[in-house]
């Protein structure tokens, strides 16, 4: 991959990543890395490939879901169960920096492509394995989804209103915090060390571990009292009046995050209710009374009316937007968080850096293996050999 001028190059230019993952956590992790300049080769099997292509609403030949987590990638079809497919993959390994896979523990070894084999071919290689429960432990071989991972991690139990059941978030905490962002972190840490030491590592990412390791407030409560507070009763889950969601007259909501006393006092003054100031962090009957007062106040005007009030007051009171509104939000637009890749809108890279040029993203590969010939040609596989491999179902 050609690097640009050092003064304006993307920081991961020159890094090559082979991506064996499907669906959400792994593909989004490699897309993030691709946004910062890494070359991503999406290696798909010769059968279904990444079945995210047909999941959910379709935006042309592939689903919107697939398109928004696979930009800036090229696709190679390869049957890793065939000896020749495995041999081609090992040739690609020689020029790669990272392999990302999301199979169950042991699958790569059974394919003859475990970490020891890959590291023997390329000692600097980083292998990142993303699974629900990790490579070890009594649950390692179990199937699971986000709901299962955050359930085991004690996180799902904390989500919801007081007295109600656990509520499923439409932001997959285990998949995204664990399978995506923890994987990106692990890959970058291992890559940094490989550059210094000349040796890669096997990065073992458990989505359950990552969700569990970020349950900060529940752990603080367990350390203090021996048990987590019931959902809806903690400091940031609805247990105090100064931090919560309040319905407006038109059925919309405002988010009140006035945790600091100065913000709470400013909120009370703005509402013309200085008498509520003592109820800042109140719980129990007093807290319920203050919350009821706020509910009545916010329920007296529309969301837009409250936006106009609090846009002028810096006390952490903001609207709860729908995503279609967020896509038009002035702050997110100013930060270039809405970009076009092909014909669809997508989220921009979440971390901004200076001296990093932004170019229009390459759309997700529409067809599995659409870049196979170009990728294999770089290995010297062309003409009759290419035709033979295709006829044999290797590619």
pLDDT at 341: 76
Give the chain's domain count.
2
pLDDT digits (tens, 9 = 90+) for 214-240: 999 999 999 999 999 999 999 999 999
Q: Which residues of 260-295 are buried (b: 16+ CB within 10 A; e: fewer)?
A: eeebbbbbbeebeeeebeebbbbeeeebeebbebbe
With 0-12 CB in 10 A as exposed, 13-18 as middle and 19+ as buried, what is 133?
buried
Name the residue range of residue 273's domain.
243-326
145 shares its domain with 272: no
In a shared domain, residues 110 and 138? yes
Verify that 179 and 279 share a domain, yes or no.
no
DSSP 3-state of 326? helix
Query: What's the start-to-end Cα distance of the chain, in Å?
Result: 23
pLDDT of residue 343: 81
384 and 344, same structural domain? yes
Tens digits of residue pLDDT in 81-103: 999 999 999 999 999 999 999 99
Strands ordered across the beta sheet of 317-319: 243-247, 253-257, 317-319
The domain boundary, picked from 326, 350, 378, lies at 326
Residue 218 lies in a domain: no
Write down the pLDDT at residue 9.
Answer: 87
Assess whether 307 and 369 both reside in one domain: no
CA torsion, ordered 93, 98, 100, 106, to nearest 10 deg:
60
Under a CB-based contact definition with an 8 Å cutoff, are residues 291 and 244 in contact?
yes
Q: How far is Cα 8 from Cα 342, in angstroms, rounded to an integer? A: 24
Annotated catalytic residues are: 145, 175
In angstroms, the Cα distances linking 23 to 98, 105, 111, 113, 148 are 19, 17, 21, 21, 17
Q: Are residues 307 and 356 in the same domain?
A: no
CA separation, residue 58 to residues 68, 139, 311, 343 (Å): 12, 35, 38, 13
Residues of the chain with pLDDT under 50: 1-5
Bridge partners of 256?
Answer: 244, 317
Flag whether 223 is in a domain: no
| Residue 182 sits in the same domain as residue 282 | no
pLDDT at 6: 54
Closest listed residue to residue 393, CA positions, set 85, 89, 88, 90: 85
Q: Does residue 322 lie within any of the structural domains?
A: yes
Three-state DSSP at 383 gives: helix
Short-list 84, 49, 97, 1, CA closest to 362: 1
Residues 343, 306 share a domain: no
Residue 75, phi then psi, degrees to nearest 5: -115, 130
Order of strands across the sheet with 39-44?
73-77, 39-44, 16-19, 98-101, 126-131, 202-206
Same domain, yes or no, for 199 and 254?
no
Q: What is the per-residue pLDDT for 202?
A: 98
Q: Is residue 195 part of a domain?
A: yes
Pairing verdict, β 317-319 and 338-341: unpaired
pTM above 0.85, yes or no: yes
Calculate the alpha carbon distances from 86 to 77, 81, 113 in Å: 12, 7, 8
Kindly state whether residues 76 and 204 are assigned to the same domain.
yes
Contact 318, 258 (CB under 8 A): no
Do the domain assignments include residue 227? no
Structure-token pair, residue 388: 């033979």
CATH number of the domain that 32 lies in? 3.40.50.10540
Residues 295, 196 share a domain: no
**Residue 7, pLDDT score:** 62
Regarding whether 309 and 170 lie in a shared domain, the answer is: no
**H/E element holding 296?**
helix 284-298
Q: Which of 269, 297, 326 marks a domain boundary?
A: 326
For 334, the enclosing helix (H) or strand (E) is helix 330-334
Measured distance CA(122)–CA(93) in Å, rounded: 7
What confidence score (pLDDT) does residue 358 get? 79
């Amino acid at each position: 991959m050609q690097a640009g001028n050092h003064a304006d190059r993307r920081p991961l230019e020159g890094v090559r990543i082979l991506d064996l993952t499907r669906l959400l956590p792994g593909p989004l992790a490699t897309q993030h890395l691709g946004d910062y300049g890494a070359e991503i080769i999406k290696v798909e099997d010769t059968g279904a490939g990444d079945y995210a292509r047909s999941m959910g609403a379709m935006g042309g030949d592939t689903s919107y879901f697939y398109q928004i987590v696979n930009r800036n990638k090229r696709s190679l079809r390869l049957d890793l169960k065939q000896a020749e497919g495995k041999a081609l993959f090992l040739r690609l390994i020689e020029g790669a920096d990272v392999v990302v896979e999301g199979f169950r523990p042991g699958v790569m070894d059974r394919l003859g492509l475990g970490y020891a084999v890959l590291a023997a071919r390329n000692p600097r290689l980083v292998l990142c394995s993303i699974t629900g429960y990790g490579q070890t432990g009594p649950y390692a071989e179990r199937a699971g989804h986000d709901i299962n991972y955050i359930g085991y991690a004690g996180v799902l139990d904390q989500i919801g209103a007081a007295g109600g059941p656990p509520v499923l978030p439409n932001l997959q905490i285990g998949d995204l915090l664990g399978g995506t962002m923890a994987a990106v972190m692990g890959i970058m840490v291992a890559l940094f060390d490989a550059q210094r030491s000349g040796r890669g590592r096997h990065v073992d990412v458990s989505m359950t571990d990552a969700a569990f390791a970020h349950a900060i407030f529940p752990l603080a409560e367990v350390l203090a009292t021996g048990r987590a507070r019931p959902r809806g009763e903690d400091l940031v889950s609805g247990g105090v009046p100064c931090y919560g969601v309040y319905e407006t007259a038109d059925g919309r909501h405002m988010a009140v995050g006035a945790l600091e006393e100065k913000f709470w006092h400013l909120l009370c003054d703005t509402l013309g209710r200085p008498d509520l100031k003592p109820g800042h962090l109140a719980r129990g009957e007093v807290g319920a009374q203050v919350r009821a007062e706020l509910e009545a106040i916010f329920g007296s005007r529309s969301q837009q009316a409250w936006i106009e009030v609090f846009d002028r007051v810096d006390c952490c009171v903001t609207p709860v937007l729908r995503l279609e509104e967020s896509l038009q939000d002035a702050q997110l637009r100013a930060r270039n968080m809405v970009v076009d890749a092909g014909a669809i809108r997508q989220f921009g890279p979440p971390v901004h850096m200076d001296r990093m040029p932004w170019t229009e993203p390459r759309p997700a590969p529409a067809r599995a293996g659409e870049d196979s010939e170009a990728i294999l040609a770089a290995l010297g596989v062309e003409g009759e050999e290419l035709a033979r491999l295709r006829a044999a179902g290797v590619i």
